[in-house]
Amino acid sequence: MVGIGTRLWSKGKNLFRSVAAQFFIASVVTIFASMLVLGSWVSHQIKHSVLVTTGVQTSLFAETILAPFVQDLEAGGTLDEASINAIDALLGETPFADLYVSIKIWRSDGLVLYATNHDLIGQLFDPIYVREAAAGKIVAQFESVYRSEHAHERLVQEKLVEVYAPLFRTGSDEVLAVAETYERGNALSDALDQSQQMTWLVVATAATGLVGCLYLIVWRASQTIVAQRKLLRSRIVQQSRLAQQNRALRLAADRARLNASTQTEHHLSRIGSDLHDGPLQLLTLSTLKMTSAVRILRTAGIERKAVEQQIETAVEMTQNALGELRAIATGLSLPEIAGLTLKETIHRAVERHQAHTGNHVELSVVAVPEPVSEALKTCAFRVVQEGLNNAAKHSPNAAATVSVALSGDTVEIQVHDDGPGDLKSLEQQNGRAQLGLSGLRNRVAALNGRVSFSSTPADGTLLKVNLPLNQQTMAR
């Protein structure tokens, strides 16, 4: 039961979130509220028009039938007995007796001059509507018989229309008295009720039709929006999956580049070791034997100048080959940096270069992060090594500077020399004594880093490498 209730509640919430449902609620409230106001106003206007018409008709009756009896009325005077009896006779002998339940004639100060109920004649009251009619205004309303002068009218068991009409002096606007009539109003009330019911029916029908038409239009638009949302959601899901796949592929590519760089480093170290343990040892032994042969020839006193010169030439060439092989082996093999920090690795690269070349290098290491991965330390070592080797080869007498610092979320390595600079030569070098700039770019790219060169006669050559700090380059 709880699960069913929860699902129903969830569906209800989703329904009210739709554009069509929100519009339906808003339109029903707004349109029906407007129609309620409009219907009330129309009903009021119909009732008012009917009462005004009734008031005008009663005023004509009063002016025609009752006004002649008050033409001789003086200020503060009353009707004589003959006038009262004449009015009674007139009302009793004509169809007006069936139309009007009660008639009063008021003096403007509230004195009853005539009444169907003769007990009220001569009494003084303070009716509000008498004052309004005495000012020349016709007042018509459905029965309001709550005051003491309405005792006779309260006995009638039907609806009454109460009308106050001024009685003018003939030929002038002077109000001599006020006539009050109570007309039987059942038929009029029933007609008003039917009219109001028809008014409300028309208003309700129009409002329902309007809401239905508008809702249909908005519902179709809402369905289009819902379909577009579903399409967008499906595309977002597809894009998310593609993004995840691309991210996985990118990570796999990064791992592949890093593994390739690591394997390359291992291969280079192995080649360096093989050169040192194989050809270098054999060439060294060959040099020793040829040197020993020269000594033996000299000791024996045998003058074999030609043989001695050939052997010395062979020794010299072998020594040159040894020098070149040692340089290659030194460049290929990587010192043990597993236990070093990044700062110590940079120092090791600079010290090794100074030991091999005898050149002094200015070093500055500022605020480098620790710990970092072996891949980043290896790359940093090779960057410094390659930059200093290029400086030593192309500007042997130039002052070299190495600076390493944290730049945003990257480690920035700069190798600078103040020589004449030859960027074209750097780009086209054969790499016999160094790894080469092409290999350096690949190594840096494996860590998603950036390599840039600048070389001018005035500023020398600058190698700048930025290595990012991320999960791949920070120690785990």
Q: What is the pLDDT of residue 277?
A: 55
Per-residue pLDDT at 94 exceeds 70: no
pLDDT at 108: 83
Query: Residue 403 has what pLDDT?
Result: 92
Residue 466: its pLDDT value, please?
A: 92
Q: Could you give the residue range(s) of every CATH 3.30.565.10 domain in the chain? A: 336-476
Answer whether residue 462 shows pLDDT above 60. yes
Q: Given this model, what pLDDT does residue 370 score? A: 82
Residues 85-102 have a mean pLDDT of 75
**Residue-level pLDDT at 412:** 92
Read off the pLDDT of residues 151-185 as tens digits, 9 standing for 90 and up: 555 555 577 788 888 988 888 888 888 888 888 76
Query: Homologous superfamily of 336-476 in CATH?
Result: Histidine kinase-like ATPase, C-terminal domain (3.30.565.10)
Query: So what's the pLDDT on residue 414?
Result: 92
SS (H, E, C) the chain: CHHHHHHHHHHHHHHHHCHHHHHHHHHHHHHHHHHHHHHHHHHHHHHHHHHHHHHHHHHHHHHHHHHHHHCCCCCCCCCCHHHHHHHHHHHHHCCHHHHEEEEEEECCCCEEEEECCHHHCCCECCCHHHHHHHCCCCEEEECCCCCHHHHHHHCCCCCEEEEEEEEECCCCCCEEEEEEEEEECHHHHHHHHHHHHHHHHHHHHHHHHHHHHHHHHHHHHHHHHHHHHHHHHHHHHHHHHHHHHHHHHHHHHHHHHHHHHHHHHHHHHHHHHHHHHCHHHHHHHHHHHHHHHHHHHHHCCCCCHHHHHHHHHHHHHHHHHHHHHHHHHHHHCCCCCCCCCHHHHHHHHHHHHHHHHCCCEEEEEECCCCCECHHHHHHHHHHHHHHHHHHHHHCCCCCEEEEEEEECCEEEEEEEECCCCCHHHHHCCCCCCCCCHHHHHHHHHCCCCEEEEEEECCCEEEEEEEEECCCCCECC
Q: What is the pLDDT of residue 436?
A: 65
**Taking all residues of the chain, what is their mean pLDDT, rounded to a whole number?**
76
Q: What is the pLDDT of residues 359-378, one digit of tens each?
A: 888 999 988 888 888 888 88
Query: Is residue 404's pLDDT more than 70?
Result: yes
Q: What percentage of the chain exceeds 70 in pLDDT?
A: 69
Residue whose token pair is 């620790």: 370
pLDDT of residue 353: 85
**Would you say residue 36 has pLDDT above 90?**
no
Q: What is the pLDDT of residue 415?
A: 92
Q: What is the pLDDT of residues 62-82, one digit of tens each?
A: 788 888 888 877 777 888 888
Pick among 3.90.550.10, 3.30.450.20, 3.40.50.150, 3.90.980.10: CATH of 2-192: 3.30.450.20
Residue 431: what pLDDT? 45
Nearest to 384 by CA among 369, 372, 402, 358: 402
Residue 432 has pLDDT above 60, yes or no: no
Asked whether residue 129 carries a pLDDT value surpassing 80, the answer given is: yes
Q: Which of 290-304, 310-324, 446-460 has the highest mean pLDDT?
A: 446-460
